[in-house]
Amino acid sequence: MEADNKVSYTISETCILPSRGLIYDEQVNPEVELRSMTMEDEMRRQAYSETPNRVLCDLIENCMVKKPNIHVYDMCLGDYEYLLHRLRVVTYGADYNMIISCPICREVSETTCNLDDLEVHGYDESIESMKIIKLPVCGKEIELRFLTPRIMDNIATRAKEIKKKAKGLTVDPTYKLTLQAMIKKIDGQTVSAAALESFVSQMLMKDVNYLEQKSNELNGKVGVDPNIVCKCGKCGHDVVVPFRITNEFFRPQI
């Protein structure tokens, strides 16, 4: 009798988007079920692409058993990064090896952190008021936009195109493109791409600095906290360190 070589996944988990689906223009079901990655999924992840965020979003989509009615590519960065972390946990577990520098004993050591200990910031009503800011110098009212993986890929692609066309360009256009992407409306109005570029180019740095800080605050309001508590491998003290995605994320040492 010929053996059945077909393998079905046995590991999955259900999770709720940090945004609870409440920040999107359309109604979004926040409940997602993820299965663990397979070898074929890993091959897709390693495929070369000029839009790396798209690759990871498609990977998450492919590993979804239950999907919301919005593609991961168009989710806010907080929801996207949260799903990326949950996919890693459901595939390899929560243990994550990191190299840390302890501020107590000043030794560098390898330690194992628990990804389930990462704090996740969920939606609250204060987000609505954070979307609208008033620039301190020019006084313009700005409606901020939640950045998405698609937006980040578009910025990188557009920057490459500008550099290619403008030979001899001595500045990187990525920063200006990112500032433009942060702005959804000016004084309640949606403006053309040309008008938006002109507006950003003429902004005074005090306004630019304020815009950037408020956008970062808004986008950091939802999702996985960028810091994690690890125990020093030398002295045993708890150390708060910035979380870094390394090779351990998708190809951990067993």
| Token pair recorded at residue 6 | 């077909």
State residue 4's pLDDT score.
56
Which tens digit of pLDDT belongs to each residue from 186-226? Answer: 999 999 999 999 999 999 999 999 999 999 999 999 999 98
Q: Give every CB contact of residue 243 below 8 A, 6+ residues apart in sequence.
A: 118, 224, 225, 226, 227, 228
Give the chain's radius of gyration (CA, Å). Answer: 21
Which tens digit of pLDDT belongs to each residue from 110-122? Answer: 888 899 989 999 9
Contacts 24+ apart (CB under 8 A), 104-110: 104/232, 104/235, 104/237, 104/239, 105/232, 105/234, 105/235, 105/237, 107/232, 107/234, 107/235, 109/232, 109/233, 109/234, 110/233
pLDDT above 70: residue 105: yes
Label residue 10 by pLDDT band (50, 70, 90).
low
Q: What is the chain's mean pLDDT, rounded?
A: 92
| Token pair recorded at residue 186 | 């000016």
State residue 1's pLDDT score.
45
Residue listed under structure tokens 């999924």: 41
State residue 149's pLDDT score.
98
Separation CA 167–CA 191 (nearest Å): 29
Which tens digit of pLDDT belongs to each residue from 139-165? Answer: 999 999 999 999 999 999 999 999 888
State residue 36's pLDDT score.
95
- The residue extents of the domains of the chain are 12-111+246-250, 126-219
Residue 250 neighbours by CB distance under 10 Å: 19
What average pLDDT score do residues 78-105 get? Answer: 94
Phi, psi at residue 65, to the nearest 5°? Answer: -90, -40
What average pLDDT score do residues 92-98 get? Answer: 93
What average pLDDT score do residues 232-246 get? Answer: 87
pLDDT above 70: residue 7: no
Separation CA 115–CA 94 (nearest Å): 5
| Token pair recorded at residue 31 | 């409940």
